[in-house]
Structure 1
Amino acid sequence: MKGAPETMLAVLLGAAIGAGAYALYSSRQAAPAPVAPVAGDAASMAKPAAEERKVLYWHDPMVPGQRFDKPGKSPFMDMDLVPVYDDQAAAGTVAVDPRVLQNIGVRYANVESRSDAPQLAAVGNVRFDETRTVSLQARVGGYIERQSVRATGQPVTRGQVLAEITAPEFVQAQDELLLARRLNDALLVDAARSRLSLLGMSDRQIDELAASGRVQRSVAIIAPASGIVTEIVARPGMNVAAGAPLFVFAALDSVWVVAEVPERDAASIASGSAAQISFPAFPGESFKGRVEFIYPDVTAATRTASVRIALPNPRGRLRPGMLATVQVGGATTRPALWLPSEAVITTGNRSLVLLAEEPGRFRPVDVVTGAERDGRIEIRQGLAEGARVVASGQFLIDSEASLKGVLTRMTPESPPGAPSAALAQGRVDAIDRDKLRITLSHGVIPSVSMPAMTMGFPVDPPALLQGVEPGQQVEFDVVRRDGDLVVTTLRAHGAAQAHRH
């Protein structure tokens, strides 16, 4: 059969073609399919791998309010300035729409450096001038026969007789003078006159005795100056000994004004500082004086220091006990950084401000404050001159309108069970357990925006160092205390648990 071979050849050829097609199909199914390029990846591949990021400015993380236009060494610490890039996420900041800021009326203030002579306001009162206080004593023992001043507060004038004392010794001394004159013995006369003078008799009274020859039975107690009687010891009929106190009185031609100054302001006042005093009893009038003395102690109940100002009082208008308002000029202060007091948020154990880094973006910064007066507060650490901070509206920026809300919302929260993003990573280089210090080679510390470096830190509490040895990898965090960075959280890798404080 002629057609049989041809038919057989066609069948074999078809089988071969089918086998080849099946093999090709199987190989394509086994090979991985090519992945279509993602548009973003293609764009990334199109960019140069080492494209330089744009630097906005350089700064010292320890003084975040100060910016620099070029790199270099920090003028505040021995470290290089750190660049801040335009695409860098600002950790610990809060962003607010500028339109919202305008609607809620947020005001700003710049940190200013200035030195001044502050005017310190204080409240005081008028007191007797203790240097003008006189105590009268009996020169001779005897009985108080008559007394013209019997109540405290009674005014007396110079030369006024306050009381009379009958004393046998006084009578005997007068008889001795008269006898010496009759004997015409000059030495005895001088001795008798001296004795009478010591017993309280004036030269005029002695001359009258010598001229008249009449012996006086009593010696007069005479006021040596004008003033107010503040204490009476003697009473008519009392038997007093020589040297016993009889009266105490104070002159009013000069008085003291003692003002109470808050202890935080006392250091700026010096002896000789000018003072201006006004009294509710004399509205519209003011009296000028100078600080004469600063008392060395502080009143525990009021936490105030007393300063003394002497005022002349020739007409006796100023009376002890009068209320006084005092303005004292403090000494010129050293240049310092100042902010409006309302810009500082105090939480009890820390003080912070909201630093305006750029329009609509703020960052809380811990500060150390100093003196406060006239609505302004001194900034000793944390900010640099020229830094711009929020002066009002801090709580409006935080949606919860509470200080706790400000602090929590400005700090990113970690999901439950996740490691804290605020902890820094580092290696322990050395430990001084006696001085409670640890030296760490660490990366960036997010809580204080500190760059990577090797640095020693004090540790508090001491228990944090238990189980930690040099060479271990640790997670830790720091806080600012008295101008220093203190490790308060420390966890060694592989430890059973973290020590926290």
Structure 2
Amino acid sequence: MKKIGAVVAGLIVGLVAGSLATWKAYPLLLSTIAPSTGVEEADAAKPDKKEPLYWVAPMDPNYRRDKPGKSPMGMDLVPVYEEEGGESDSGPGTVKISPDVVNNLGVRTAAVELKSMQSTIQTVGYVKYDEDQLVHIHPRVAGWIDRLYIKASGDPVKKGEPLYEIYSPELVNAQQELVLALDRKNSRLVEAAENRLFALRVPESLIAEIKKDGRVKQSVTFYAPRSGVVDYLNIRQGYYVNPGSTIMSIGTLSQVWVEAEVFERQASLVQIGLPVTMTLDYLPGREWRGAVDYVYPSLDPKTRTVRVRLRFDNGDNLLKPGMFAQVVISSPSSGKTLLVSKEAVIRSGRTSRVVLALGEGRFKSVNVKVGRIDEQSAEILSGLTESDMVVTSAQFLLDSESSKTSDFKRMNHGEVSVPDSVWVAATINKLMGDQRMVKATHKAIKVWDWPEMTMDFKVADSVDMQRLAEGEELHVEISRLGRDQYQITNIHIPGSEENKSLDDMSIDDMSLDDMNLGD
């Protein structure tokens, strides 16, 4: 029994000792077998921190710095990161922006839609008499105006009212022939004399009076052939007139014409019968509705416009000839077409672009062919599909950043086009207002191979020189007019209230593809 108890006690002591040894040795053994397990888990939990490539100004994408800071306008610089995986699947020109930067820039997007475009043509016109109802008064004989019943242009007349009396030897002779024919009672001579008087527009009442009493009138009175307003009075009492001369015109105001001018690019949209709306400044809130009456077949070579004749009812005579009017012509829709918001289109002289929103913070500028443009939409003829999303706000920065790596200039197998105008930072050294010139020091312009230097520039008439001051730092657009001829055609003063907003600048004829604001 004692032996059995000793064996049991030894087993218990050995079991306890083995458990204690295992508990003490397990961590060491585990670290020996897998020494890097905990480190790898810790490293896996840590995300790779990307370093920005550079920082740019939110309102000036060509203002770059290699560290955070403030832009010339006092705004925080925005970091730009390299896109994961190098070049994206969307091709050259794709840029990726972090979500917080997209939010800070206020980027808005809209879908490309396939729908009908109701085009409207806004233009101006002038009220005229309805020439279909305009009557010109011409004498058919030579003579003297013995009496003039109409004293001034604009006087109203009614049909049958006397206009003027004329003494003409030819009219006196024609009356005497009728009297002689009546005395001889020769019907053929009487008919011939009457026809001659009718041809000279002698009133029928006077012919009947001559046939009745046989007396010749020395002065003959002529009457208004219709009611209206005297438009053109070219005689005075006592004037001598010849056949064919215009002595006055009579027009009506019950219906008027309006002649408007339509630009050459919109001429194909105008057709006879299209509805027209007209307003005048002197009657705010009043609106007239009419229709296109005629489209003139020729183009004015100076203004490059086509004249369009419109017709309006004017029962209350509020429309006066010579008035200036604003006209809106509604053109019918021509089937469904691809449309984008007009503010999404970036126009830069010869080309137009939009910024595609590719998702996940990726954006890319693409060339598009633009057709018709109305107040809200632009027609896209090529370059987009119905499923695309385009940027409609703050696309200015995205377009400039995308253009640096885009394939716009690779379409000609390495041939790079030189722009006719560039934006560059400059300092005004001297103003020469009487010559519309400035002496300015500008930064280097890489696309023209220009170093930083000081030059004299002509200033375009469209630039307000009163906004310029000596010593002022600003951005200027320099345009090439010809060989060795350059001109400042636009200015951008950072922080000025007169500058356009970012959205407005994106749809104007400003191209910042080649802007070089220096370092």
TM range (shorter): 0.5 to 0.7
Correspondences of 1:86-97 after superposition (within 5 Å): 89-90=88-89, 91-97=92-98
Which string of whole-angstrom CA distances, capped at 9 and with x for unpartnered residues, describes residues 133-168 of structure 1?
222111222222122224323332222222211112
Match of 1:428 in 2: none
* Aligned equivalents of 1:393, 1:116: Cα separation in 2: 25
For the residue of structure 1 that corresponds to 2:232, the secondary structure is strand
Match of 1:42 in 2: none
Match of 1:336 in 2: 337
Task: Report the AA paired with residue 101 of structure 1.
Answer: V
Task: Report the AA paired with residue 403 of structure 2.
Answer: L
Match of 1:407 in 2: 403
Moved more, 201-210 or 226-235: 226-235
Match of 1:326 in 2: 327
Larger radius of gyration: 1
Question: Are 2:393 and 1:392 aligned?
Answer: yes
Structure 2, unmatched stretches of 5+, are 1-83, 418-519
For the residue of structure 2 that corresponds to 1:245, the secondary structure is coil
Task: Report the AA paired with residue 310 of structure 1.
Answer: R
Given that residues 112 and 339 in structure 2 are in contact (C-alpha distance below 8 angstroms), is that contact kept between their aligned partners in structure 1?
A: yes
Match of 1:433 in 2: none
Residues 1:322 and 1:355: Cα distance change in structure 2 (over 3 Å): same
Task: Report the AA paired with residue 253 of structure 1.
Answer: S
* Aligned equivalents of 1:245, 1:252: Cα separation in 2: 21
Measured after TM superposition, the shift of residue 447 of structure 1 is 3.9
TM, length-normalised to structure 2: 0.59
* Aligned equivalents of 2:370, 2:159: Cα separation in 1: 56
Given that residues 101 and 360 in structure 1 are in contact (C-alpha distance below 8 angstroms), is that contact kept between their aligned partners in structure 2?
A: yes
Could you say what the CA RMSD is over the residues aligned between the two structures, in angstroms? 2.7
Correspondences of 1:35-184 after superposition (within 5 Å): 89-90=88-89, 91-184=92-185
Given that residues 354 and 365 in structure 1 are in contact (C-alpha distance below 8 angstroms), is that contact kept between their aligned partners in structure 2?
A: yes
* Aligned equivalents of 1:397, 1:300: Cα separation in 2: 41
Given that residues 409 and 416 in structure 2 are in contact (C-alpha distance below 8 angstroms), is that contact kept between their aligned partners in structure 1?
A: no
For the residue of structure 1 that corresponds to 2:266, the secondary structure is helix
Task: Report the AA paired with residue 350 of structure 2.
Answer: N
Structure 1, unmatched stretches of 5+, are 1-84, 412-421, 423-444, 449-458, 460-474, 480-501
* Aligned equivalents of 1:277, 1:214: Cα separation in 2: 57
Measured after TM superposition, the shift of residue 114 of structure 1 is 1.4
Which string of whole-angstrom CA distances, capped at 9 and with x for unpartnered residues, describes residues 404-459 of structure 1?
x5523x44xxxxxxxxxx7xxxxxxxxxxxxxxxxxxxxxx9946xxxxxxxxxx8
* Aligned equivalents of 2:169, 2:88: Cα separation in 1: 102
Correspondences of 1:272-421 after superposition (within 5 Å): 272-299=273-300, 302-397=303-398, 403=400, 407-408=403-404, 410-411=405-406
Residues 1:249 and 1:189: Cα distance change in structure 2 (over 3 Å): same
Given that residues 270 and 331 in structure 1 are in contact (C-alpha distance below 8 angstroms), is that contact kept between their aligned partners in structure 2?
A: no
Match of 1:193 in 2: 194
Measured after TM superposition, the shift of residue 200 of structure 1 is 2.0
Given that residues 227 and 249 in structure 1 are in contact (C-alpha distance below 8 angstroms), is that contact kept between their aligned partners in structure 2?
A: yes
Which string of whole-angstrom CA distances, capped at 9 and with x for unpartnered residues, describes residues 325-370 of structure 1?
3222202223221111111212223221111222111111111111
Residues 1:170 and 1:329: Cα distance change in structure 2 (over 3 Å): same
Which string of whole-angstrom CA distances, capped at 9 and with x for unpartnered residues, describes residues 45-64 of structure 1?
xxxxxxxxxxxxxxxxxxxx
For the residue of structure 1 that corresponds to 2:172, the secondary structure is helix
Match of 1:487 in 2: none
Moved more, 188-197 or 88-97: 88-97
Residues 1:322 and 1:389: Cα distance change in structure 2 (over 3 Å): same
* Aligned equivalents of 2:374, 2:245: Cα separation in 1: 52
For the residue of structure 1 that corresponds to 2:164, the secondary structure is strand
For the residue of structure 1 that corresponds to 2:114, the secondary structure is strand
Task: Report the AA paired with residue 125 of structure 1.
Answer: Y
TM, length-normalised to structure 1: 0.61
For the residue of structure 2 that corresponds to 1:152, the secondary structure is coil
For the residue of structure 2 that corresponds to 1:265, the secondary structure is helix
Match of 1:236 in 2: 237
For the residue of structure 2 that corresponds to 1:232, the secondary structure is coil
For the residue of structure 2 that corresponds to 1:326, the secondary structure is strand
Measured after TM superposition, the shift of residue 88 of structure 1 is 6.4
Residues 1:293 and 1:215: Cα distance change in structure 2 (over 3 Å): same
* Aligned equivalents of 1:280, 1:244: Cα separation in 2: 38
* Aligned equivalents of 2:209, 2:409: Cα separation in 1: 97
Residues 1:244 and 1:353: Cα distance change in structure 2 (over 3 Å): closer
Task: Report the AA paired with residue 88 of structure 2.
Answer: A
* Aligned equivalents of 1:313, 1:205: Cα separation in 2: 36
Match of 1:256 in 2: 257
- Percent identity over the alignment is 37
Given that residues 269 and 331 in structure 1 are in contact (C-alpha distance below 8 angstroms), is that contact kept between their aligned partners in structure 2?
A: no
Measured after TM superposition, the shift of residue 225 of structure 1 is 1.5
Which string of whole-angstrom CA distances, capped at 9 and with x for unpartnered residues, describes residues 287-316 of structure 1?
222101112334455544332111233342
For the residue of structure 2 that corresponds to 1:182, the secondary structure is helix
Which string of whole-angstrom CA distances, capped at 9 and with x for unpartnered residues, describes residues 375-431 of structure 1?
211111111112011111113447xxxx4x5523x44xxxxxxxxxx7xxxxxxxxx
Task: Report the AA paired with residue 388 of structure 1.
Answer: M
Measured after TM superposition, the shift of residue 373 of structure 1 is 0.5
Measured after TM superposition, the shift of residue 87 of structure 1 is 8.5
Count of residue pairs brought into register by the alignment: 332
Residues 1:329 and 1:234: Cα distance change in structure 2 (over 3 Å): same
* Aligned equivalents of 1:328, 1:142: Cα separation in 2: 49
Match of 1:470 in 2: none
Task: Report the AA paired with residue 160 of structure 2.
Answer: G
Match of 1:266 in 2: 267
Measured after TM superposition, the shift of residue 86 of structure 1 is 8.7
Match of 1:468 in 2: none
Given that residues 127 and 256 in structure 2 are in contact (C-alpha distance below 8 angstroms), is that contact kept between their aligned partners in structure 1?
A: yes
For the residue of structure 2 that corresponds to 1:123, the secondary structure is strand
Correspondences of 1:209-228 after superposition (within 5 Å): 209-228=210-229
* Aligned equivalents of 2:192, 2:315: Cα separation in 1: 41
For the residue of structure 1 that corresponds to 2:258, the secondary structure is strand
* Aligned equivalents of 2:246, 2:128: Cα separation in 1: 22
* Aligned equivalents of 2:207, 2:364: Cα separation in 1: 90
Measured after TM superposition, the shift of residue 372 of structure 1 is 0.8
Which string of whole-angstrom CA distances, capped at 9 and with x for unpartnered residues, describes residues 46-94 of structure 1?
xxxxxxxxxxxxxxxxxxxxxxxxxxxxxxxxxxxxxxx9996343211
* Aligned equivalents of 1:337, 1:189: Cα separation in 2: 78
Given that residues 133 and 248 in structure 1 are in contact (C-alpha distance below 8 angstroms), is that contact kept between their aligned partners in structure 2?
A: yes
Measured after TM superposition, the shift of residue 253 of structure 1 is 2.5
